[in-house]
Amino acid sequence: MTAVVPLAATAGLLFAIGLYGMIGRTGLIHRLLGANIMASAIFLFLVVLSTRGIEASADPVPQAMVLTGIVISVCITAFALGLIRYLRVMTGEDELRRSTRDADGQSADD
Amino acid sequence: MIPLSPVFDVLLGLGLLWLAWRVVASRGRFTAVVLFMVFGLVMAIAWARLGAPDLALAEAAISAGITGALLLNACKAAYADPGHPQPGGPATPPPSSARRWLVYAICGGLGTALAATMAWLALGRPDVAPELRDAVSGHAVDNPVTVILLDLRGYDTLLEMAVLLMAFLGLRILMGHRDLAGLHPLPEGVPSMADSLVAMATPILLITALYLFWTGTEAPGGAFQAGALLGALGVMYRLTGRIEPLDHTPAALRLGLILGLGVFAGFACLSLIWSDWPLSYPAMATAGVALTIELAMMISIAVTLTLLFSGSAGIRLARAPVQGP
Amino acid sequence: MTDPPPLVMAGHTALLLGPLICGLLVYLLPWPRFRDAAPIVLSAGLLVVLWYLSGEMLGTGPVTLALGGHFAPLGIELHVDALALAMLWLTGLVGLAVNVHITASVNLTERFGPEGFRILWLVLWSALNALFVAADLFNIYVLLELSAITAIALVAVSRGPEAVAAATRYLFFALAGSLFFLLGVALVYAKTGLLALRGLESLQWHGPASVFALGLMTLGLAMKAALFPVHAWLPRAHAIAPSAASALLSALVAKAGVYLVIRLWSGPFDGHWPEFLGQSMAVLGAAGIAYGSIQAIRQSRLKLVIAYSTVAQLGYLLLVLPLASVLAWHGVIYHALSHGLAKAALFLAAGNVIFMVGNDRLESLSRGDHRLAGNAMVMALAGVSLAGLPPSGGFIGKWWLINAALESGQWWWALVVGGGGLLTAAYVFRVLRYAMAEPHPDDGRPDLPVKRLPRRMFWPPMLLALGAIALGFAGQWLVPILALGRPGNIAG
């Protein structure tokens, strides 16, 4: 059971590192990687919660949560990459610019 | 859990932290993505260490493997070609140092608070509820995680299949546009080793995937791991040109995409016939029904992951023979 | 746990899975008539189901159901009470209006294809129905992710660079929101071993960890609901989406986030948060009301006005946190219901304007063409409810909130509600002023002919707006339903 404390603390710090990636960097790929690290941190914590030592069997609920979370993570990442690639190809942007004027473009119904 | 010295765990934790820091702080995208893939693999090792081998397999295959492939593909497709239009407007000014220190303060504070809280909570975590333990051990399916995924919390799994499908549809809206170059980078030239690699990998991956699927009801394994391995096979085929992109989705492919979600949702409604509640398994045929649903899910996961990597509306097996060495 | 009659569970299954299965069929089958007709038939069917379920609930009271028959701590529970029922009705009515509207929005079917809109909306509809009855923390997380990915895809569906940029910004906010929420769920599970809201309510687990978890989950939900100050993604995203999608996003999806905040604070976390935190949340709500309304007054495009109005109106719902009384609870339910109807009507009407005139600049409203007049009427009716003028559902909602504030001695919230109403009236009247203005005689721009509006596009928003007004007369009649299943902290 000695793995519990170091890995749980690691999970907490990893979440903060991932958060830094999301809000401290401007490149979209780096922000997406930061989000993935945040997700991995939460999954690590959940796996830590599921361990019960050598004798007892593990708690299956957090493990099911992690498996679901991994698949959802890859789905969101794939979709996000599509948006990022599309943005890059159409406008050459690789960050979200804070536009100083309101969106003057047409609405989608036009 | 394997009894190893605590130093190993501390080293594992430090390794994860160092890798994560390098990912978010590195200048280049390619470096960051590669380090992220290594991070995923070390995370898989950590989970194996914590006694969750099926999760470790899923993490290595899906998170390090397929996500890594998606990221590398995106980096190459969108950033390697200098011919893209240059961003208009003034460049974003670098964040002021006040803002940077604010971000550091927030992340540092939150990280410390979380590390302390999580370590303390993990030490005092409560035991599994006895009703849950009885329900899991008395179930017709032996693998406890499969019991949770398919029966007790099956609705979450159903919704997760819906998320898979929505990711594909969202991507298809963006990438299905045939006029946009740069969205479908075809492999420029297949290295000569790739043929032998694919020839070796195909039977191994197929058999491992089918084994994992079959044994998922009793031992660690299941539809997700099997589907991820088959998806990885699809990614390899796409990379070596054996699978070509299409700009529409043929009917058979549509069926494959919705099979998992459709079978599960259909089962949920049908179970109102033999029970008062949706998503309840018939007492006689629990394992059989679970296996059927897992089969449908495995097919859908494999097809969807391959299509997510391909980024196109559809795929087909290549007609022209692949160039040999 | 007494088993409810089997038809009740079947009805809820239809609500949760019906739209999803319809979406799969729409995706598989290539017949355009089917794609148009099936969602409308489904809408009508689900409204009948809701009618039956409401009747049942009047007899039995609020209901707890479980999927697969596995009640907590084994499986996933659902919980239906007055607030959930109101939101289900809202989803059903707005859904029917949107389903009829999109059959005639030619732009949608030609440019986006069936994959582009319908199946996304149908799956989102399933997810929303499920969110409003959800009673399990991890189930809520998965539903949040599903609704986010469909909503983001609906914003990006037109594929223009602005739309994709708005969708990407939405995605990063929603992603951060989900991750904060999941972290909170993990902390709750670590402390209690439970995920079901009902189980958490009856457990004594107060402590700093629970407040920490509540804070993380609230932050996550605030990002998804665009509550002030993490709202930056909403105005552009809702303005640039196709108007039918904007109606859904503003009236339903954003509201789901605030709904969950209220659920958590008055359910499992009731008693964990100190008084000042409740006041602070409502202060943020008031700030949102002020900021959103002021920004709405400054816009020159109709859809941006309506989008900023959403940021403002969601703030009212947070007032139930400090004002924990029956009247406030009823007021919030009423406000959520009428705002949803009015907002959907406004966005659909804005879509009609764009269909007829080609853009949504406010000056275009003063074209003076008689065809725009009917649409202006829709906007006027919806605006009356939004501003809280009598007779309308919005008026009753605000009236009850003001009375609740005065009764509990927290008179400053009454000022907030009243002031918010004045600001809302300001931007509503500004829009109507353009709509009623005489066209400028020497307007040099060549006028494109105003297109004729099909009936299928005119009547849905009109009926929604009339519904918002009709709620103003139904207050007393609906009280017995509103009284079902008050959370524990609401003083009787």
Find residue B246's DSSP bridge partners. Answer: B314
The residue behind tokens 């499986």 is C75
Q: Flag whether residue C216 sits within 8 Å of chain B, measured between CB atoms.
A: no
**What's the pLDDT score for residue C5?**
75
Range in B122-126, B273-277, C157-161, C275-279 the model is least confident about: C157-161
Whether the per-residue pLDDT at C111 is higher than 60: the answer is: no
CB B317 within 8 A of CB B245: no
Q: Flag whether residue A84 sits within 8 Å of chain C, measured between CB atoms.
A: yes
Whether the per-residue pLDDT at B242 is higher than 90: the answer is: no
**What's the pLDDT score for residue B158?**
96
Q: Flag whether residue C354 sits within 8 Å of chain A, measured between CB atoms.
A: yes
Q: Do C182 and A109 touch (CB under 8 A)?
A: no
Contacts of C among chains (3+ CB pairs under 8 A): A, B
Q: Do A108 and C355 touch (CB under 8 A)?
A: no
Task: Calculate mean pLDDT across residues C72-97.
Answer: 92
Q: What DSSP line would sit under B14-65, residue for residue?
A: HHHHHHHHHHHH-S-HHHHHHHHHHHHHHHHHHHHHTT-HHHHHHIIIIIII
d(CA C376, CA C389): 17
Which of C66, C130, C192 has the CB atom closest to B277's CB atom? C66
Which of A62, A93, A110 has the CB atom closest to C354's CB atom? A110
Which of C164, C175, C183 has the CB atom closest to A86's CB atom? C164
B243 vs B210, higher pLDDT: B210
CB C341 within 8 A of CB C464: yes
Pick from B70, C230, B72: nearest CA to A73: B70
Eight-class DSSP state of B247 = S
Whether the per-residue pLDDT at B181 is higher than 70: the answer is: no
| Closest-approach residue (CA) in chain A for C158 | A108
ipTM of the complex: 0.94
d(CA A15, CA C412): 39
Task: Calculate mean pLDDT across residues C369-381.
Answer: 85
Q: Do B183 and A89 touch (CB under 8 A)?
A: yes
Q: Flag whether residue A55 sits within 8 Å of chain C, measured between CB atoms.
A: no
Q: Flag whether residue A105 sits within 8 Å of chain C, measured between CB atoms.
A: yes
For chains A and B, CB pairs below 8 A equal: 289
Q: Do B278 and C150 touch (CB under 8 A)?
A: no
Residues in chain B within 8 Å Cβ distance of A67: 54-55, 58, 145, 149, 224
Q: Flag whether residue C252 sits within 8 Å of chain A, measured between CB atoms.
A: no
Residues in chain A within 8 Å Cβ distance of C164: 83, 86-87, 90
Which of C171, C239, C242 has the CB atom closest to A83's CB atom? C171
Whether the per-residue pLDDT at B182 is higher than 60: the answer is: no
Mean pLDDT, chain B, whole residue set: 86
CB atoms within 10 A of CB C3: 11
State pTM to two decimals. 0.94
B residues 231-270 closer than 8 Å to C (CB): 249, 251, 254-255, 258, 261-262, 265-266, 268-269
**What's the pLDDT score for residue B125?**
86
Q: Do B104 and A20 touch (CB under 8 A)?
A: yes
Range among B157-166, C55-64, C235-244 with highest mean pLDDT value: B157-166
Structure tokens at A14: 């990893």
Structure tokens at A53: 């030592």
d(CA A80, CA A60): 30
Q: Do B62 and A71 touch (CB under 8 A)?
A: yes
pLDDT band at B188 (very low <50, low <70, confident <90, very high): low
What are the Cα distances from residue C272, in Å, to B140, C50, C73, C201, C275?
A: 40, 34, 22, 11, 10
Task: Calculate mean pLDDT across residues B69-82.
Answer: 80
| Closest-approach residue (CA) in chain A for B164 | A75
Q: Is B18 exposed, middle or buried, given 0-12, 13-18 or 19+ CB atoms closer than 10 A?
A: middle
What is the C-alpha R_g of chain B? 23
Whether the per-residue pLDDT at C133 is higher than 50: the answer is: yes
Range in B34-38, B172-176, C309-313 the model is least confident about: B172-176
Q: Do B87 and A10 touch (CB under 8 A)?
A: no
What is the C-alpha R_g of chain A? 19
Q: Do C160 and A61 touch (CB under 8 A)?
A: no
pLDDT band at C53 (very low <50, low <70, confident <90, very high): very high
**What's the pLDDT score for residue A1?**
59
φ, ψ (nearest 5 deg) of residue B313: -70, -30
**What's the pLDDT score for residue A70?**
96
pLDDT band at A110 (very low <50, low <70, confident <90, very high): very low
A36 to chain C, minimum CA–CA distance in Å?
Answer: 9
Whether the per-residue pLDDT at A36 is higher than 90: the answer is: yes
**What's the pLDDT score for residue A102?**
47
Q: Do A51 and B51 touch (CB under 8 A)?
A: yes
Task: Calculate mean pLDDT across residues C164-186.
Answer: 95
Distance in angstroms between the alpha carbons of the first and the last residue of chain C = 25
Helices within chain A (DSSP H only) = 4-24, 28-50, 60-91
| Closest-approach residue (CA) in chain B for C3 | B276
The residue behind tokens 């492919």 is B253
A90 vs C100, higher pLDDT: C100
What are the Cα distances from residue C431, in Å, to C296, C314, C382, C434?
A: 10, 20, 12, 5
Give which of A7, A44, A52, A87 to mutate to test B binding, by max B Cβ within 10 Å: A7
Residues in chain A within 8 Å Cβ distance of B73: 81
Q: Do B265 and C123 touch (CB under 8 A)?
A: no
CB atoms within 10 A of CB B194: 19
Cis before C441? omega within 30: no
Q: Which residues, including other chains, have CB under 8 Å from residue A99's CB and lie 6 or more apart? A: none
Q: Flag whether residue A81 sits within 8 Å of chain C, measured between CB atoms.
A: no
Whether the per-residue pLDDT at A60 is higher than 80: the answer is: yes
**What's the pLDDT score for residue C1?**
47
Q: Do C120 and B170 touch (CB under 8 A)?
A: yes
| Closest-approach residue (CA) in chain B for A87 | B78
Q: What is the 3-state secondary structure (H, E, C) of chain C?
A: CCCCCHHHHHHHHHHHHHHHHHHHHHHHCCCHHHHHHHHHHHHHHHHHHHHHHHHHHHHHCCEEEEHHHCCCCCCCEEEECHHHHHHHHHHHHHHHHHHHHHHHCHHHHHHHHHHHCHHHHHHHHHHHHHHHHECEHHHHHHHHHHHHHHHHHHHHCCCCHHHHHHHHHHHHHHHHHHHHHHHHHHHHHHHHCCCEHHHHHHCCCCCHHHHHHHHHHHHHHHHHHCCCCCCCCHHHHHHHCCHHHHHHHHHHHHHHHHHHHHHHHHCCCCCCCCHHHHHHHHHHHHHHHHHHHHHHHHCCEHHHHHHHHHHHHHHHHHHHCCCCEHHHHHHHHHHHHHHHHHHHHHHHHHHHHHHHHCCCEHHHHHHCCHHHHHHHHHHHHHHHHHHCCCCCHHHHHHHHHHHHHHHCCCHHHHHHHHHHHHHHHHHHHHHHHHHHCCCCCCCCCCCCCCCCCCHHHHHHHHHHHHHHHHHHHCHHHHHHHHCCCCCCCCEC
